[in-house]
Amino acid sequence: MNPVFLRLGPLEIRYYGLMYALSFIIGLKLAKISAKEKNISEEFIEKYVMNAIIAGLIGGRLYYVIFNYKYYFKYPLEIPAVWHGGMAIHGAIIFGFLWSIVFAKLHKVNFWIFTDIASPLLILGQAIGRFGNFMNGEIHGVPTFTPLRIIFSIKPKFYEWYNYYNSLSLSEQMNYKEIVPWGIVFPNNSPAGMEFPNTAVHPAMLYELVLNFLAFLSLWFFFKKKNYKPGVLTGIYIIEYSLIRIFVSFFRAEDLMFFDFRAPHVISFILIIFATILIITKSKKIK
């Protein structure tokens, strides 16, 4: 894997940035299709999408910085350096949602219409973006020889087990009874390679890529056709992605932590409760 897609002299085009651009182009095209179905002008939806993307990028970075405040307190100049990595999708979702409220208030329209348009496109963009993470060797999983009972434990427990495994002799490691037979070895200069050098790890970013794409297909080709009341599709997206993130986080090695819990698990459970209430409430309302 190589994070650089193309070099033109001093100019580098990286897969991560390329996936962002691809997500934007495809997302805007599909947003215009949804807007046409709802009798919304292309110019209006372009304005919404552009501002929502900016809000999402700011929110994703701010969320990550807050959960890593000790590091960024020491190195404040690194805060805007997004090219070094460090984006959190939950922050992007929250800020994008808040911006949708502001945008709808300014233009005096139902903001659930906009979030319903954005939801399938957002999870498609998340799927495309995970390929950029794969080429960077980030959003990686724990080593594949890890027994499930350790994968499903909180992060400190895994490293306790990993240190024990490293204390074994080579022959003992080779004959370890709980080896799992799949994984990818990332280059040593990647985040995955630096944390687990020369070790096959779960490609957690690819797990999420596949699941996110399946969620997009369900939202775009099935739930979107149901003509739900505004807000219901947004709630379905939130539940689908939250369940995906809960599952994938069991395998991820670098999740943000909230005390002794994985932060994505905490926020995902909260979002599921919110989305369930949203769907029930909106389903009871008359169009």
122 burial level (CB within 10 Å; 0-12, 13-18, 19+): buried
- Across-strand partners of 257? 262
What is residue 245's predicted lDDT score, i.e. its pLDDT?
94
Element (H, E) at 4: strand 4-8
pLDDT, tens digit (0-9, with 9 covering 90-100), for 51-92: 888 888 898 888 888 888 888 888 888 888 776 667 777 788
pTM of the model: 0.85
What is residue 84's predicted lDDT score, i.e. its pLDDT?
64
Q: Where are the domains of the chain?
A: 4-144+182-284
Cβ-count burial 269-278 (b if 16+ within 10 Å, e if not): eebbeebeeb
* Residue 144 confidence (pLDDT) above 90: no
Residue 127: pLDDT band by 50, 70, 90 thresholds?
very high
Higher pLDDT, 86 or 113: 113
Cα–Cα–Cα angle for 282, 286, 287, nearest 5°?
90
* Residue 173 confidence (pLDDT) above 70: yes
What is residue 174's predicted lDDT score, i.e. its pLDDT?
76
Could you report how far apart the first and last alpha carbons of the chain are, in Å?
Answer: 50
* Residue 151 confidence (pLDDT) above 90: no
**For the chain, what percent of residues have pLDDT higher than 70?**
97
What is residue 83's predicted lDDT score, i.e. its pLDDT?
63
Element (H, E) at 93: helix 89-107
- Tell me the average pLDDT across 165-174: 84
Residue where the block lists tokens 């997206």: 237
pLDDT, tens digit (0-9, with 9 covering 90-100), for 218-258: 999 999 999 899 999 999 999 999 999 999 999 998 777 88
- Tell me the average pLDDT across 257-262: 81
CA distances from 34 to 224, 227, 229, 239 (A): 9, 12, 15, 21
pLDDT, tens digit (0-9, with 9 covering 90-100), for 7-63: 888 888 889 889 988 998 999 999 999 999 988 998 899 888 888 888 888 988 888
Distance CA 223, CA 226 (A): 5
Q: Share the mean pLDDT of the chain.
A: 87
57 burial level (CB within 10 Å; 0-12, 13-18, 19+): middle
Q: What does the chain come to in residues?
A: 287
Distance CA 116, CA 88 (A): 21
**For the chain, what percent of residues have pLDDT higher than 90?**
39
Distance CA 64, CA 89 (A): 9
Residue 124: pLDDT band by 50, 70, 90 thresholds?
very high
Question: Is 130 part of any known ligand binding site?
Answer: yes
* Residue type (1 letter), 265: H
